[in-house]
Structure 1
Amino acid sequence: MAMLIEFFNQSNESPDLKHSTPHLCCGNEELSMKILEGNTVGIDLGTTYSAISKLDEEGNPTLIPNADDRIITPSVVLLGDDGHVLVGPSFERISIEDPTHIVEAIKRQMGNPEFYVVYQNKKLTSEFISALILKKLKQDAEARIGPIGNAVITVPYYFNDVRRKATQDAGRIAGLNVIDIINEPTAATLSYAWNKGELGRADLVQKEKSILVYDLGGGTFDVTVVSYTPTHFRVLATDGDVMLGGLDWSQRIVDHIAEQFRRKFGDDPREDPETLRIFSQEAEDAKRQLSKKTQVPINVYYKGKTLTVSLSRADFERMTSDLMQRTKDTTELVLQQAGIRLEDLDDVILVGGSTYMPVVEHMLREVCKREPSRELQPEEAVSQGAAIHAAILEAKATGGQGQIAQAVIKRLQSVQTSDVNSHSLGVKLTDPNDRGRKMNHIMIPRNTEIPYSTTQRFVTNSPNQQRIHVHILEGETSDPDACSQIGDFRVYDLPENLPKGSPVELSYQYDSSGRISAVAKELTSNKAASTEIVRDSGLDDEGIDVFQRLADEYKVE
């Protein structure tokens, strides 16, 4: 998350930065979420596949099969003509449906206010579509384990505040009490430590280990370095791309095949939505086969013409080399930002189905100078870690009155986690070299361990300034307009004849639960104002109720 604060006076100018005095905020806030009756689960809401897990009585994180007895469900929604909604339909079913009724990769649209799907004369948002996927997971799981009351849902570490709120809204629309949003690499690390028998074992030697989590899913990508002991997990650095994933590798195959077809027959199969969908499925299948085979044939048909293309693994890796290079650059950057030597890296963990591509292991072996671990199942680890985190929160909130063994609860209660902010927090200032230009001054850089607070001093840049307008945004770029606004507030009634250069102090805090509080004070008069931003939800209760009633109108299968 990142915060950007902008001051405006009557002439729409901003104060200049004078100096800063940052300091670390100490202590964690008490847990305050409400645990409802019913099971508490962890959900990996993925771009291409989703999964739901729960700790069993022995404390093992277990994936709950869906109605088709599969432990992962395709994150595909088919909007039927009669109000029936099919989540995770088979390719055979999809192939006979109108492509405009099929919604895929909705995770990439989370938090996008301009995205919607028109269905039965209603505009369905990304939150609502995601809620249908969550509703399917919930109802299938409840058929096996009984009522579900609470859930932890995972998101990529690089999701910003808007995307996280949208994810939380989706859970609420689906009828879940979302007790936390957890970052996917953190969830994977919990799963890793549990799998090794270390998690919560206060009796073990508290030797700190460092691991790199490389998470390449169907639509998003994260790299995170985590340092941990059996009872304390600390994120050192993270980076990623919410628009990079296995879908982009598959698309390169689609484009390659389509270009071959166009050159031979003069027609471009991508112009027909139904054919494009078939091409996309063929490309996805070929990509998966190339993880095991060195060459695969691809047969495509369009307008009565057939083409067979033989695609080698070497050709596939060559046509996607720039995509892999992007993940390599990010991996090297995160290692650098974490300040960890390669010889001190204890393990490299692969998460996400796209890590099955052999080139991923080859690249990581080259960068990290060690063999990546295959201890965890890439498609299952995040959901399992979310279930562990959910059980930890339940154990702490209920005083250990949970459904799992008391020995396991005692272990879970001892676990603490520390995160970093994945987006920088900054302040918008007038560029001293160009009075008409605004600039983003970073106050809390990304990858700063939270909780954290900072105080910095600014000065007014015009005489007789009457008010201060603080805009709270998040973003990395120097251009404030490229950042996202997440809140604002004002300080009014400044003293008359306030001279130019009067001191203004900014203080704000980013706590471990994701809350941002900001205070602005004009020091001559001690006039102050503040605000707090809490990731409760992007929608208000009324908006959630409207979407819940709409979801109830549809029969989700």
Structure 2
Amino acid sequence: MKFLDGQTVGIDLGTTYSAISQLNDEGVPVLLENADERTITPSVVLLADGGQVMVGPSAERISIEDPNNIVEAVKRQMGNSDYFVVYQNKKLTPEFISALILKKLKKDAEAKIGPIANAVITVPYYFNDVRRKATQDAGRIAGLNVLDIINEPTAATLAYAWNKGELGRPDVLSGERTILVYDLGGGTFDVTVVRYSASKFQVLATDGDVMLGGLDWTQRLVDHVAEQFKRKFGEDPRDDLEALKSFQQECEDAKLQLTKKAQVPISVYCKGKTLTVSLTRGDFERMTADLLQRTKDTTELVLEQSGVKGPDLDEVVMVGGSTYMPVVESMLRQLTGCEPSRALEPEKGVAQGAAIHAAILEARERGEDSTLGKTVLKRLQAVQTADVNSHSLGVKVSDPEERSRKINHIMIPRNTTIPFSVSQRFVTNSDNQKRIHVEILEGEARDPAGCSLIGDFRILDLPPNLPKGSPVEVTYSYDANGRIQAAAKELTSNKASQTEIVRDSGLSETNVGNFEQLAKDYHVE
């Protein structure tokens, strides 16, 4: 890890909103305001005519723009090689669109604290290696030295424990605390069980869904109102991009109002026709009950995998703007028997945790050369973190029951504390085999087609007349920085080969460099 000259920050790159934070000299994680003097910035990019790029434009500005020029929820497309936006005859990838958001955050924050060089960026826990690499590339394109990619619930827990004055303070916390972090954001969902003491921080289990968040609750309202409109007027407003954008905004506003009100009217307009629909909170909760159930099922699974029962939890911490929905709090109270905590501001906790993690890395790397105060520095240096892998890692092998079929043989199960290393023995498939091809998979499915291929390597020139069933040892390791090493050795001849995977999928170095130059050409407002 190499620090560059300049300020160090933490960034929550969210589906609907993003934020940037820094640990100040007193050890307080402070969210840095944008040009509008707000601490959160909408993750919306307007690619207007004439090369004008705006990040986080107002609802009024969006309403007068061509919907085709507006990019929202790009985080859901991270790592998707088939997704792109054409602008000024250039194909802009999710990494580049995300980089524009990061560039805006960086530019506005620099007006407050000076040049920013280093950053920790957050991702949902369940982001796979491809999505993590895409996030890392986005930071580089935006001109940031990305120190680390940290999981959002881990960041939220860091913020929770740090803000309570417990982390790095054995004089305050003598034992251990176990908490559940339920993180329901605009586009993604994570739930994590964490155990921590004053000096040690350990994730016990995690799970999530990168395609579940507040946007899905809003979409249910959009579909409900659109069906009402269609029944009355015989036209589907979802077929009209401008009308759909208007419907989405009205339904988003109604969803937010239902947090505090029992009933709200929704007025929508399309092609000269107006419809007003009255909606109660009960109606809304019934039409979205299956979405909430998905989060409940995941929470129960994580509690089971962590070996922690609801009554054993010291706290249930809610993170993410979508946890403002009253039904979320009720569900968690019923499920765990604990009173859910709002100790963290839902939209700010993740960014604060990223800033704390960035400061911990800086304290380790720079030590006394850090600009942080001595008391804060000592506290940061006392913290050790232990994470788990969010996806199982395995190799493609022949099914012992049906040799012609390939399966994913898991070697490092998900929720294994990292760093971790394991060795297992396999055998060759045929007589006089000349080479061994090791394919490295990420995922839970038994069928390799349901997993991600994240790397491969070969052992070549095996000795002649090697009998079928000759032993091959495969060693798999996963370090704390997310690097995966895999090695294989044919034990008869001791021929060996290995590979290291350092988020090498997605954009190439050339692509990143080209996009970095292109980002400099765009004036982001």
Instruction: Please give the TM-score of this superposition, normalised by the length of structure 2.
Output: 0.99
Give the partner amino acid of 1:203. Answer: D
Give the distance between the partners of 2:320 and 2:368, measured in 1 at CA.
32
1:42-191 paired onto structure 2 within 5 Å: 42-191=10-159
The superposition leaves residues 505-531 of structure 1 with CA deviations (integer Å, 9 ceiling, x where unpaired) of 111111111111111111111111001
CA distance in 2, matches of 1:232, 1:535: 27
Aligned residue number for residue 350 of structure 2: 382
Query: Aligned letter for 1:548?
Result: E
1:298 to 238, 262, 266: 266
**Displacement after TM superposition at 1:130 (Å):** 0.1
| 1:151-179 deviations in Å (ceiling 9; x for gaps) | 00000010001000000000000000010
Instruction: Check the 8 A contact 1:57/1:404 in 2, yes or no.
Output: yes
Opposite residue 504 of structure 1, the aligned amino acid is V
For residue 35 of structure 1, report the CA deviation from its aligned partner: 0.7
Q: 8 Å contact 1:394–1:400 — kept in the other structure?
A: no
**Equivalent residue, structure 2, for 1:197:** 165
8 Å Cα contact 1:451/1:509 also seen in 2: yes
1:278 aligns to what? 246
Deviations 1:221-254 (A, max 9, x none): 0000000001110000000000000000000000
Distance (whole Å) between structure 1 residues aligned to residue 513 and residue 16 of structure 2? 27
Q: In structure 1, what is the equivalent of residue 204 of structure 2?
A: 236
Task: Quote the Cα distance in structure 2 between the aligned partners of 1:398 and 1:197.
Answer: 23
Matches within 5 A, 1:212-223: 212-223=180-191
Which residue does 1:287 correspond to in 2?
255
Q: How does 1:312-461 map to 2 (within 5 A)?
A: 312-461=280-429
Q: Which amino acid aligns with 1:531?
A: T
AA partner of residue 319 (structure 1): M
> In structure 2, how many angstroms separate the alpha carbons of the residues matched to 1:273 and 1:186?
38
Distance 1:208 1:465 in 2: 54
Structure 1 residues 487-520: Cα deviation after superposition (integer angstroms, max 9, x where no partner): 1110001111111111111111111111111111
**TM-score, reference length from structure 1:** 0.93
> Offset of 1:403 from its aligned partner?
2.1
Alpha-carbon offset, residue 354 of structure 1? 0.3
Post-superposition offset of 1:537? 7.7
Contact preservation (8 Å) 2:165, 2:172: no
5+ unaligned residues in a row in structure 1: which ranges? 1-32
Deviation of 1:554 after TM superposition, in Å, equals 1.0
Structure 1 CA distance for aligned equivalents of residues 95 and 86 of structure 2: 14
Q: Which amino acid aligns with 2:483?
A: R
Q: Indicate whether 1:485 and 2:453 are aligned.
A: yes
Q: Which amino acid aligns with 1:79?
A: L
Structure 1 residue 538, shift from structure 2 partner: 4.4
Q: Is this contact kept in 1: 2:311–2:338, CA < 8 A?
A: no
Say which SS state the counterpart of residue 299 (structure 1) adopts. Answer: strand
**Residues 532-541 or 145-154, more deviating:** 532-541
CA positional deviation for 1:404: 2.2
Partners of 1:460 and 1:324 in 2: how far apart? 48
Q: Structure 2 unaligned segments of length 5 or more: list them.
A: none
When structure 1 is superposed on structure 2, of 106-115 and 530-539 the one drifting more is 530-539
Q: Whose RCO is larger (CA < 8 A, sep 6+)?
A: 1
2:354 & 2:254 partners in 1: Cα distance? 31
Shift of 1:536: 7.1
Equivalent-residue separation in structure 2 for 1:535 and 1:193 (angstroms): 30
Preserved contact between residue 491 and residue 527 of structure 1 (Cα < 8 Å): yes
CA distance in 2, matches of 1:284, 1:459: 57
Check the 8 A contact 2:166/2:173 in 1, yes or no.
Answer: no
Q: Percent identity?
A: 73
CA distance in 2 between counterparts of 1:201 and 1:354 reads 32
Report the alpha carbon displacement of residue 390 of structure 1 after superposing the two structures with TM: 0.5
Are the equivalent residues in 2 in contact too, given 1:221–1:241 (CA < 8 A)? yes
Q: What SS does the aligned partner of 2:50 have?
A: coil
1: CA distance, partners of 2:230 / 2:512: 47
The one-letter code matched in structure 2 to 1:341 is K
Cα deviation digits, residues 89-110 of structure 1 (max 9, x gap): 0111001111111000000000
Q: Which residue of 2 aligns with 1:19?
A: none
Deviations 1:280-303 (A, max 9, x none): 011100110011111100001112
SS state at 1:412 partner: helix
In 2: Cα distance, 1:122 partner to 1:235 partner: 42
* 2:396–2:441 Cα contact (<8 Å) kept: no
| C-alpha distance in 2 between matches for 1:438 and 1:530 | 21
